[in-house]
Amino acid sequence: MKFFDWLTVTKRPAAGVPPKSVAEVRADLLAINRPTAPFIVRDGAPENVDLVAEWRIVDAKWYEIFAKAGLRKGFKVLMKLNEQESEVRSIDERRSIEWRAGLPNLSWETSGPTLSWETEVSRGQIKEYSYGRAFAFTERGPFGEVYHYKFVSGEIKTPLQDAVTKAGWVWRGIAFGKL
């Protein structure tokens, strides 16, 4: 493996695998979707790319899980399919936001609660592993688990890379620049 391939998470197909058409590769990537996965592969037209894979944070079923965990992160894999080179060029995008609400000042001063936020955007090849679990007294009374989640960027990227390389195409991670 070449050093630059390792650095950019570029994956190559096995020797002798004939490349499929762009339509077949697109169909293979969209076929990764399943109702039980915490991510979705969709059309990327709104982002000016061919396809996007992202966490299902806005999906009603998954929203409650992410909201309970206080997860305010978005992670996307943006993809462009290049038929001439038989490669999928990808770049990761992570956005996070943190909200902080201060308690009201209980002294006689006139200042009250404060609300502030901080946001962060990252682009390139991102490898991330986050894990969260919380226990508390639940609404029904007993002490128990309130939420449990894990975020592993490889859970999204590995199935995409496998589909691309099995189709005889190269998965080229872009670290800097445009797709």
Q: Which helix (H) or strand (E) holds 27?
A: helix 22-30
pTM over 0.75? The answer is no
**Structural domain contains residue 178:** no
| pLDDT tens-digit readout, 48-94 | 999 999 986 544 455 555 555 455 667 899 999 999 999 999 998 88
Q: How many domains does the chain have?
A: 1
Q: Can you give the pLDDT at residue 119?
A: 59
**Structural domain contains residue 179:** no
Compute the residue count for the chain.
179
Residue 164 CB neighbours (<10 A): 26
Residue ranges making up the domain that contains 144: 3-173
**Structural domain contains residue 159:** yes
**Structural domain contains residue 31:** yes
**Structural domain contains residue 18:** yes
